């Protein structure tokens, strides 16, 4: 007989637990985006919010704030069709915004940029180039900002799709010994990196918050987002879900094996089509980003000389803002079509490896950032020496005479009759004698190469030094992963013979002595025998665990499977380990085939980055320097003829002098081209890494460091040599003058 609880006491108890739930569950109001202003209360756990805040990129948080603020200022609702598509993209990349906020920002931000930019640029320059530039920029930005969630969703999909093979591998590996989908999803979410780990966590949290009643409903709702992008992933997960309904063990295992084979084979087929369709876009990118802009520099000196009012800042806007943005957008568009592949985790974020990101100088460990900043400032100081000297001592210059002697000009004297080459090369403006323009000198042009060096070399060294040691650790780990399949197979056979795991590790370490796998199993065996640890402690102990030397999710997962399956007996553990070994071999085989498909395209892009782009740009800037020098010298000589008042040639001299104009100093031309080379190397390196490896931040940073350092130095050396040689030719072709 049960005692009834009084109604008042029951209300108190219910109120108590409701208040506790209210503290732990945060209702979030979201607009459905249908244009009718409908709102819905969405319950999200604080744990989800904390996990999301930790892994969401910062630029996406800024975008969220901008959208929500714009929506408060001025609401612009999209059409129901557009709102539905935006909702799908917003859901994929976990943004806390509404379609109305997206459309509001896409109108408010461009109008603000266009209006403010127009007024400020007109007030500062008193010209129409920059005001119209900001107007056009504002108009162009409306489209991309309105589609920003789609771009973010595509980027999210690409990063997530690079982990899908591993996700299926984790699910299948766990479900072979424990047929529980919810535990398998939790297992996969624990070892996958963001963003797919965030997706899997949300699948589980949707069950905890009772949005869905079962793991199957929650997973099926999540898979809808991949319907048009990765159907092979959906098919694989459906096979995994189907294995739960199989009563026969053999049939269940067969469906799990088939699910992994499906995603591996489909991955290879899609990558095959991607490789075949890649040649056209890459050729267009090469022409748009390298050939046409660089060759256009040969014509620019003539255009600047004959067109009055064109300054170096106009060309810098074109070459250092518009062109890089276009090349970057086109490159990202190409990468967005890349199918599922293999990505690597950025192990540099591992706290245990933070010390490896530092360098030693005079026996002290410092972060590479300080060293690179000092180096950049030193190069920057050298690059601006011509301007600094002119500001401190106007008119001072060092000249090389026609007789081969060096003389120094007194302050205020800008020209010398016997000068063949000037170090600074400042001169009076033709239109206004009170205005001094320059530097046109050969010395200034040669020194200007230190400006791209002040950006390319420090940034490249920073990335390279910060990732060099960590990449060595990952390379060692990769070698272990390559031979780990055979080591696991041997371990499985030893376990199948009835040996306990403690002895099995020792036997495998002895048979593979001298290899990386032998070292891994040897360290594990030593921890067991000498330190008295259990198998789990010997591998995963925070201080002495063998996994600490080889930070690999694949190896960590394999060992977790061994420990979990070992609880059910040595035979189950042996079968699980052998199956993991087979899976790793199959994944490695497909990965090698994918790398073969990408070899030609990747090789072509690498040659452009490391040699073609810096070399062509260096030669072209030398030709540009020669053309500029010749035009400038002709202008100076014709101006002298005009001033001397030669009766027979005064009219022609005056006409030709006005025709040529004063031209643009090579000092500015070289800086523009040098910066463009640095930008191009950076963008193309991201392209190469994305095509070859998918989402691999650590390798991307290392490649950027290596390519930027090598490419910038190569460009600077070639530009120095060609400029010097061609200016010698120009000095002999035309007599004295500025050069």
Kindly state the average pLDDT of the residues 432-442: 76
Q: Where does the pLDDT of residue 455 fall: very low under 50, low under 70, confident under 90, or very high at 90 and above? A: very high
pLDDT value, residue 717: 93
Q: C-alpha distances in angstroms, 382 versus 451, 461, 462, 668?
A: 8, 19, 20, 15
Nearest-10 Cα torsion for 140, 141, 142, 144: 110
Residues facing residue 155 across a β-bridge: none
Cα(684)–Cα(676) distance, rounded to whole angstroms? 12
pLDDT of 212 > 50? The answer is yes
pLDDT of 35 > 50? The answer is no
Share of the chain above pLDDT 90, in %: 7
pLDDT value, residue 466: 84
Q: Which of 367-381, 606-620, 629-643 has the highest mean pLDDT?
A: 367-381
Query: Cis peptide leading into 194, omega within 30 of 0?
Result: no
- pLDDT tens-digit series, residues 623-644: 888 877 777 777 666 666 666 6
* Minimum mean pLDDT range among 200-214, 238-252, 415-429: 415-429
pLDDT of 684 > 50? The answer is yes
Q: Would you say 739 and 632 are in contact if contact means Cβ atoms under 8 Å apart?
A: yes
Q: C-alpha distances in angstroms, 677 versus 294, 588, 670, 711, 720?
A: 9, 36, 10, 8, 15
Kindly state the average pLDDT of the residues 210-229: 84
Q: Would you say 653 and 430 are in contact if contact means Cβ atoms under 8 Å apart?
A: no
Q: C-alpha distances in angstroms, 545 versus 231, 477, 485, 542?
A: 40, 15, 20, 6
- pLDDT tens-digit series, residues 89-129: 887 777 888 888 888 888 888 888 888 988 888 888 777 87
Q: Where does the pLDDT of residue 709 fall: very low under 50, low under 70, confident under 90, or very high at 90 and above? A: very high
Q: For 189-226, give one letter per residue: b (16+ CB within 10 A) or e.
A: bebbbbbbbbbbbbbbbbbeeeebeebeebbbebbebb
State the first-to-last Cα distance of the chain, in angstroms, to the nearest integer.
Answer: 109
pLDDT of 714 > 60? The answer is yes
Cα(375)–Cα(373) distance, rounded to whole angstroms? 5
Instruction: Say whether 40 sits in a helix, a strand or coil.
Output: strand
pLDDT value, residue 378: 94
Kindly state the average pLDDT of the residues 155-178: 77
Q: Where does the pLDDT of residue 45 fall: very low under 50, low under 70, confident under 90, or very high at 90 and above? A: very low
């Amino acid at each position: 007989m049960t005692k009834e609880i009084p109604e008042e006491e029951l209300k108190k108890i219910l109120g108590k637990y409701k208040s506790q739930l209210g503290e732990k569950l945060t209702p979030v109001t979201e607009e459905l985006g249908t244009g009718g202003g409908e709102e819905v209360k969405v319950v999200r756990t604080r744990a989800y919010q904390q996990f999301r805040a930790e892994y969401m990129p910062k630029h996406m948080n800024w975008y969220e704030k901008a959208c929500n603020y714009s929506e408060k200022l001025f609401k612009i609702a999209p059409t129901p069709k557009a709102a539905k598509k935006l909702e799908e993209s917003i859901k994929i990349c976990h943004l806390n915004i509404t379609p109305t906020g997206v459309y509001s920002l896409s109108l408010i931000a461009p109008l603000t940029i266009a209006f403010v930019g127009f007024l400020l640029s007109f007030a500062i320059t008193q010209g129409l180039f920059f005001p119209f530039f900001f107007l056009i920029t504002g108009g162009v930005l409306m489209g991309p900002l309105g589609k920003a969630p789609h771009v973010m969703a595509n980027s999210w999909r690409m990063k997530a799709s690079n982990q899908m093979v591993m996700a299926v591998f984790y699910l299948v590996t766990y479900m072979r010994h424990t047929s529980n989908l919810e535990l398998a999803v939790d297992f996969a979410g624990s070892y996958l990196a963001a963003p797919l780990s965030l997706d899997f966590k949300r699948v589980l949290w949707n069950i905890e918050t009772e949005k869905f009643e079962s793991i199957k409903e929650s997973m099926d709702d999540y898979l809808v987002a991949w319907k048009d992008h990765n159907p092979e992933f959906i098919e694989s997960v459906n096979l995994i879900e189907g294995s739960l309904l199989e009563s026969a063990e053999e049939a269940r295992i067969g469906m799990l094996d088939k699910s992994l084979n499906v995603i591996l084979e489909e991955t290879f087929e899609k990558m095959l089509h991607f490789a075949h369709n890649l040649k056209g876009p890459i050729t267009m990118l090469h022409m748009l980003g390298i050939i046409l802009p660089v060759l256009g520099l040969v014509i620019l000196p003539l255009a600047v000389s004959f067109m009055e009012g064109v300054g170096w800042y106009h060309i810098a806007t074109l070459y250092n803002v518009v062109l890089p943005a276009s090349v970057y957008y086109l490159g990202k568009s190409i990468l967005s079509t890349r199918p599922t592949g293999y990505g690597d985790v950025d192990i540099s974020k591992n706290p245990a490896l933070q010390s490896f990101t530092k360098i030693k100088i005079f026996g002290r460990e410092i972060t590479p950032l300080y060293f690179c900043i000092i180096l950049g400032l030193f190069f920057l100081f050298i690059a601006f020496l011509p301007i600094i000297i002119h500001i401190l001592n106007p008119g001072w210059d060092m000249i090389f005479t026609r007789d081969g002697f060096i003389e120094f000009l007194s302050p205020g004297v800008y020209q010398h009759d016997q000068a063949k080459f000037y170090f600074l090369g400042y001169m009076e403006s033709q239109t206004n004698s009170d205005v001094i323009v320059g530097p046109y000198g050969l010395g200034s042009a040669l020194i200007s190469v230190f400006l791209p060096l002040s950006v390319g070399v420090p940034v490249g060294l920073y990335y390279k030094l910060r990732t060099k040691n960590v990449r060595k650790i990952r390379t060692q780990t990769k070698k272990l992963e390559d031979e780990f399949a055979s080591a696991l197979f041997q371990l499985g056979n030893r376990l199948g013979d009835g040996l306990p795991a403690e002895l099995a590790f020792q036997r495998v370490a002895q048979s593979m002595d001298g290899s990386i796998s032998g070292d891994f199993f040897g360290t594990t065996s030593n921890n067991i025998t000498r330190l008295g640890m259990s198998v789990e402690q010997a591998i995963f102990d925070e201080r002495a665990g063998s996994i600490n030397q080889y930070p690999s999710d694949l190896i960590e997962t394999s060992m977790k499977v061994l420990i979990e399956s070992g609880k059910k007996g040595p035979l189950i553990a042996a079968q699980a380990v052998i199956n993991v070994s087979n899976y790793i071999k199959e994944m490695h085989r497909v990965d090698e085939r994918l790398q073969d498909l990408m070899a030609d395209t990747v090789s072509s892009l690498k040659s452009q980055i490391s040699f073609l782009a810096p070399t062509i740009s260096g030669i072209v800037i030398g030709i540009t320097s020669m053309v500029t020098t010749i035009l400038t010298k002709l202008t100076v000589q014709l101006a002298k003829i005009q001033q001397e008042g030669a009766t027979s040639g005064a009219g022609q001299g005056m006409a030709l002098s006005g025709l040529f104009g004063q031209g643009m100093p090579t000092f500015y031309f070289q800086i523009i081209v040098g910066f463009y080379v640095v930008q191009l190397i950076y963008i193309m390196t991201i392209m190469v890494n994305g095509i070859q490896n998918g989402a691999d931040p650590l390798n991307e940073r290392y490649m950027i460091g290596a390519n930027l350092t090598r490419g910038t130095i190569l460009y600077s050396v070639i530009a120095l040599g060609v400029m010097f040689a061609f200016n010698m030719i120009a000095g002999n072709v035309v007599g004295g003058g500025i050069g």
